[in-house]
Structure 1
Amino acid sequence: MSRIKEFNLPDLGEGLTEGEILTWLVKVGDTIELNQPIVEVETAKAAVEIPAKWAGQVQAIFHPEGSTVEVGTPIIAIDTDPGAGPAEQSTTGASTSDLPTPSAASLAAVEVAPTEGAVEPGLIGGPAPGGRTAVLVGYGPRTTAAKRRPRKGAAPAASAPAAAPVQHSPAPVVPAPVRSPSPAVNGNGRSSGPVLAKPPVRKLAKDLGVDLSALTGSGPSGSITREDVQRAAAPAAAEPLTVTSPVSSAASFGADREQRIPVKGVRRLTAENMSRSAFTAPHVTEFLTVDVTRAMKALDRLRGRREWRDVRVSPLLLVAKAVLLAVRRHPMVNSSWAGDEIVVKEYVNLGIAAATERGLIVPNIKDAGRLTLRELADAMTDLVQTAKAGRTSPADMSGGTLTITNVGVFGVDTGTPILPPGESAILAFGAVREQPWVHKGKVKPRLVTTLGLSFDHRIIDGELGSKFLRDVGDFLADPEATLLAWS
């Protein structure tokens, strides 16, 4: 068994099919241990560290930082027994920039054996040492003929000579074109060679009705790219209209002062989820303004207790507790629409919207309804710190049943939040401000906040939504008295 093992980007769960390599935590030549973090990968949901599957020495890194890699693609090669001397199938630590690019002719000479479940391999940098033929990174040509059970009546096949050993290469960065036969001469009289194009490009060409054999590739080694296909499929540009005007065109004005930000990762996922939710669930939003002066005084007393001095205590903690208690009185709020049925959850995975450098994420506290107030405070503190550090896992952002978004931290009074997909209610908690308020028949300065509850009107009607919001408000108006009344 080969000592050189290629580690593929693992399945990151939750249906994620790719990830962007943020940071390599090791380099070629490093000795690593089993389960040692080797790379930080950003998915559409979170940034996660991936541990090593084997101990050994890093022989090659196949993708640079910033590249997007599909699940199942080799990302690193590890020599699992570096002390045994040079390996026959080894990779050097040379940089890909030092390696020549293989020609189309050398690619055409390589036969790649199809491997079940294998992802598209990368391209090595050039001729292998010792005069061996360059091959595609991956399993490479078979070193022995495949053994098959002979069919009845069939003559045994002659043994094929062994192929040259596989030579792996470091850090491939050029995608491997896939070759296929093309006509001897095309309609334009062009000579035919192998058509170099990746499978996605071939599919695009088929969908657009473009003949690949008639194109000249602009990619590495003359391979055909998506842009080549799209240019060929685009209709001829119409003659531009000549407009006599002393003013510059609006389309070109200020173009040199524009910034274009790729939509990917968390931002893309958020956009997709919010668009789907906004146009799927019929949203209704109700508002309630509450005098929370007593709640703020209760927080001050809580902070003064000896056992709470090392605990982060914020108004959001009381809002979370109010929501959890109100759910017990109105379980239908904690449910989801499943087409022919409504699924009412007996557990509350409480989502807390968090603004991070990577965008808005909504991790949730699993089974938050079973936690004591102290346990809830600790869980919320850990959730916020993990989110700000960019270490929230995909599992922590999945399975939410009810969400709170604290827009008050930005000085906003309230909002009309969009439901996270699969949830039936989300509460916006606004800023706590000192305002004039009628208290015991007199206008006095009081601490006041505004709550905004958005809910799915397929599940929650106006009466249920109003009662739930009223209960949350009652708790925040006087937590201690409300607890006694509800107990």
Structure 2
Amino acid sequence: MAVKDFALPDLGEGLTESELVSWKVAVGDSVRLNQIIAEVETAKALVELPAPYDGRVSRLYVEPGVTVAVGEPLVAFEVAGAEPETAPAAASGGQAEVPEPTLVGYGARPDATSRPVRRARPGLTGAPGAASHGQTASPIASTAIAAATAAAAERPRATPPVRRLARERGIDLATVTGTGERGLVTRQDLDAVTTSPRMSETSGANRLPVAAATTAPARGDTRIPIRGVRKATAEAMVRSAFSAPQATVFVTVDVTATSQLVERLRARTETAEARPGLLAVVAKALCLAIRRTPDVNARWDDTAQEIVQSGAVHLGIAAATPRGLLVPVVRDADLLPLPELAAAIRSLAETARAGRTAPADLTGGTITITNVGVFGVDAGTPILTPGEAAILALGAVRRQPWEHDGAIALRDVVTLALSFDHRIVDGQQASRLLSDVGRILHDPGSVLALV
């Protein structure tokens, strides 16, 4: 029986670190090859990590909430019939040991033999099960465990917002009993101390009276760490806004005919299962309009000083998720019939909201659609997805008075906005594309003039 470490593998797409979200196993559990043992969050998606061995979990090096670099150990397994691992310094010939690849399609990078320092969230120290079952820790693990133990003894565990609130209220955290997970001091614990008789007796001159604290509790700022999807989105938006000159054109269209078309499609047996909606029709219209104006389906290659027009339409669909904005990509969207395109968009959106989008499905887009209408917004000026020349925003459909056949009637009206990279796309090209999309939505039969 030998103990083998499993390090955070290289998950691809240039990602160098991930945050451990949760463990699916505990110390002492027996696991099978490819059994899901943990869930990590990259800057792009939640990823499930499978076990690389059959064996028993002997140690968990990392707590949930800790950011881990690629190549850093996550968990140790007792594996039957395996040779004990050899430290890189003891490798023969002075050469570093190459990490053993896993059997699940990815592993640690060959050069990732060092153990980078973990960057834990403040207040999260140690690792569950680190000293279980009499295992002897390595010098690195022993040092980390000792440091974590010392830190835990020196100050109570609490998040940065709670520590700040305690300072503002003059509360010594060492006197507070934490009721949170593993003794974490929470805001509610501070509130309980503030309103307790003991606190009122020991309050100083600048302390709020108990009655005042009860009726008007202190309201501190909340600090939210910038990481994961939010961090990646922020970096992408800044890069996009300051690397490409962006302009936006708008058109407001009567889409009553498209609304009626969607109702008929949903009533038909052969298309009802796909549940095509306005977004799918807009996506199809955009793909068709690109045939006349391929300039918008392009990117700027600064290194080669070339404009690269894509031969395929890989359509990004912006999706609001609990983790932030994600843009999964429908590959070869221009080749899909409307029902298949609708099904693909719905599937990608549901997967994104569930946090299960693979990193590879969030890259390689050539043009994007964002549906701000679902939030009741009429229009906007969307920022380009980095590396793309255009993004189309779909606003809310409004039932309102509109000119129709020489008279005023209640019609379904929507506003479309197209932001574009003015280095690649001129105003004439952007306007023609947007007009073509609007014409298709106003009169779906007009598509016959475009193909």
**TM-score normalised over the length of structure 2:** 0.73
Kept in 2: contact 1:417–1:454 (CA 8 A): yes
Deviation at 1:89, TM superposition (A): 6.6
Alignment-derived partner of residue 349 in structure 2: 384
The SS at the match of 1:279 is helix
Give deviations 1:445-478, integer Å, cap 9, x for gaps.
1100000000000000011001000001011111
Kept in 2: contact 1:63–1:173 (CA 8 A): no
Counterpart Cα distance in 2 of 1:466 and 1:21: 46
Deviation at 1:88, TM superposition (A): 11
Kept in 2: contact 1:10–1:72 (CA 8 A): yes
The SS at the match of 2:441 is helix
1:323 aligns to 2:318 (yes or no): no
Kept in 2: contact 1:121–1:137 (CA 8 A): no
Kept in 2: contact 1:353–1:361 (CA 8 A): yes
Alignment-derived partner of residue 205 in structure 2: none
Alignment-derived partner of residue 445 in structure 1: 410
Counterpart Cα distance in 2 of 1:266 and 1:72: 21
Give deviations 1:204-238, integer Å, cap 9, x for gaps.
xxxxxxxxxxxxxx97999xxxxxxxxxxxxxxxx
Alignment-derived partner of residue 306 in structure 1: 269
Alignment-derived partner of residue 57 in structure 1: 56
Counterpart Cα distance in 1 of 2:43 and 2:74: 19
Distance 1:320 1:173, change over 3 A: farther
Deviation at 1:136, TM superposition (A): 2.1
Counterpart Cα distance in 2 of 1:173 and 1:16: 27
Alignment-derived partner of residue 154 in structure 1: none
Distance 1:457 1:88, change over 3 A: closer
Counterpart AA for 1:51: P
Counterpart Cα distance in 2 of 1:303 and 1:173: 60
Deviation at 1:415, TM superposition (A): 0.3
1:260 aligns to 2:220 (yes or no): no
Alignment-derived partner of residue 416 in structure 1: 381
Counterpart AA for 2:139: L
Alignment-derived partner of residue 447 in structure 2: 483
Counterpart Cα distance in 1 of 2:47 and 2:439: 40
Alignment-derived partner of residue 251 in structure 2: 288
Counterpart AA for 1:119: S
Give deviations 1:95-137, integer Å, cap 9, x for gaps.
xxxxxxxxxxxxxxxx9769564222779978x969x8x6325
Deviation at 1:30, TM superposition (A): 1.6
Hey, which of these two has a bigger chunk of helix by percent? 2
The SS at the match of 2:425 is coil
Alignment-derived partner of residue 101 in structure 1: none
Alignment-derived partner of residue 165 in structure 2: none
Counterpart Cα distance in 2 of 1:78 and 1:40: 17
Larger radius of gyration: 1
Counterpart AA for 2:220: R
Matches within 5 A, 1:66-77: 66-77=65-76
Aligned Cα RMSD in Å? 3.1
Counterpart Cα distance in 2 of 1:289 and 1:121: 54
Alignment-derived partner of residue 364 in structure 1: 329
Counterpart Cα distance in 1 of 2:64 and 2:140: 19
Deviation at 1:58, TM superposition (A): 1.3
The SS at the match of 1:38 is strand
Distance 1:282 1:174, change over 3 A: farther
Distance 1:476 1:256, change over 3 A: same
**Deviating runs (4+, > 6 A) in structure 1?**
87-90, 111-114, 121-126, 218-222
The SS at the match of 1:257 is coil
Matches within 5 A, 1:98-113: none
Kept in 2: contact 1:365–1:379 (CA 8 A): yes
Kept in 2: contact 1:112–1:136 (CA 8 A): no
Deviation at 1:3, TM superposition (A): 2.8
Alignment-derived partner of residue 298 in structure 2: 335
1:455 aligns to 2:420 (yes or no): yes
Give deviations 1:129-152, integer Å, cap 9, x for gaps.
69x8x63258xxxxxxxxxxxxxx
Alignment-derived partner of residue 135 in structure 1: 138
Deviation at 1:29, TM superposition (A): 1.6
Kept in 1: contact 2:256–2:411 (CA 8 A): yes
The SS at the match of 1:22 is strand
Distance 1:129 1:382, change over 3 A: closer
Counterpart AA for 1:292: V
Alignment-derived partner of residue 360 in structure 2: 395
Distance 1:175 1:465, change over 3 A: farther
Counterpart Cα distance in 2 of 1:292 and 1:332: 26
Counterpart Cα distance in 2 of 1:38 and 1:412: 42
Deviation at 1:259, TM superposition (A): 0.9
Deviation at 1:412, TM superposition (A): 0.3
Among all aligned residue pairs of Structure 1 and Structure 2, give the percentage whose two residues are the same amino acid. Answer: 52
Counterpart Cα distance in 1 of 2:349 and 2:275: 11
Counterpart AA for 2:232: L
Distance 1:59 1:280, change over 3 A: same
- Selected match of 1:471 from 426, 436, 446: 436
Deviation at 1:174, TM superposition (A): 6.6
How many residues get paired?
357
Deviation at 1:328, TM superposition (A): 1.4
Counterpart AA for 1:289: T
Counterpart AA for 2:16: T
The SS at the match of 1:11 is coil
Deviation at 1:311, TM superposition (A): 2.2
Deviation at 1:486, TM superposition (A): 2.2
Structure 1 runs not aligned, ≥5 long: 91-110, 139-168, 177-217, 223-253
Kept in 1: contact 2:314–2:365 (CA 8 A): yes
Give deviations 1:14-61, integer Å, cap 9, x for gaps.
111100000111111222121111111001111111111112221111
Deviation at 1:386, TM superposition (A): 0.2
Counterpart Cα distance in 1 of 2:450 and 2:146: 65
Structure 2 runs not aligned, ≥5 long: 98-110, 118-125, 155-216
Kept in 2: contact 1:121–1:136 (CA 8 A): no
Deviation at 1:368, TM superposition (A): 1.0
Distance 1:341 1:27, change over 3 A: same
Kept in 2: contact 1:121–1:175 (CA 8 A): no
The SS at the match of 2:247 is strand
Kept in 2: contact 1:16–1:44 (CA 8 A): yes
Distance 1:175 1:88, change over 3 A: farther
